[in-house]
Each structure stands twice: as C-alpha cells, then as structure tokens.
C-alpha cells in the first residue's frame, strides 16, 4: 500500500469515528486533506488473436485515489452478448467463453475517479474456423 493510499485510508477511518462521536463543532473538511490521484492503468488489455469458438479473456488493472471504477466498451458501444465482465480487487476482467466473428474489434478499458479518467485499448482478432474439403475420388 502506498503512502498516499495509507493517508486516504486514515482519513476515511477518522471520518467514520468522527461521525460516530457526532462531534458537530468541528468541520469535517478541516480534519482531512482530501487527496486525489488520477487513475493509472498498470495492466493494460493486450491485442489477441483467437480461433472462432475458442475462449479468451481480457484484463485491465488500475490504481488511483479514490479507487477508480473500471468499465469496458466494445467499438465505442456496448459489450457484445456472450461477454461477461468481472471485477476483483484493482482489476476488471472480460470473459469470452465462446468467441464469434461478431466479437472481433476494439475493447477499451476506462479507469475513472473524481480526479480524472484514462483509457487503454486492445484489438481482438477472431479467425474463422477452418473448413476441411473432402474430395470424392
């Protein structure tokens, strides 16, 4: 945990106990230095190529104060059906259990908090299934 995150955590804990005590004579804003640190994506989604019908996933991790919210766009719109988004800790993960040609395109991860926002993108290329041609002799 970084020094900035520790200071922010201390401030949040102080406010919690402050509110419990109901000490209304002191302004909350005077008790804490509100820290805002712009989000930084430290694990970016990577370009991938996958055979149609096979599974794949994309991941994105970011830090910032306050903790950034992570969201995804597909070709600047909604995620295609069949794609699920899961969050864990500082990360967000897209799971594509069965890829289709319609899932091919640009996946953009956005990390946003009160300080700012930042994005990182990756291209998913879906190869069509190989077809075997049988000849009759």
Q: Could you say which residues of the chain have pLDDT below 50?
A: 4, 13-25
pLDDT at 129: 77
pLDDT at 63: 97
pTM of the model: 0.73
pLDDT at 74: 98
Cα–Cα distance, 66 to 120 (Å, whole number): 19
Give the residues across from 60 on adjacent strands: 92
pLDDT at 61: 98
127 Cβ neighbours under 8 A, 6+ residues apart: 49, 50, 51, 52
């Amino acid at each position: 945990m970084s020094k900035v995150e520790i200071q922010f955590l201390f401030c949040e804990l102080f406010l919690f106990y402050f509110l419990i005590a109901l000490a209304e004579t002191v302004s909350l804003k005077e008790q804490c230095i509100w820290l805002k640190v712009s989000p930084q994506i430290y694990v970016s989604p990577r370009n991938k190529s996958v055979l149609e019908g096979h599974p794949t996933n994309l991941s994105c991790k970011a830090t910032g104060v306050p903790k950034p919210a992570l969201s995804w766009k597909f070709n600047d719109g909604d995620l295609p059906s069949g794609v699920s988004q899961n969050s864990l800790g500082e990360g967000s993960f897209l799971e594509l259990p069965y890829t289709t040609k319609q899932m091919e395109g640009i996946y953009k991860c956005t990390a946003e908090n009160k300080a700012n926002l930042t994005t990182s993108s990756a291209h998913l290329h879906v190869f069509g299934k190989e077809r075997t041609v049988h000849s009759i002799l």
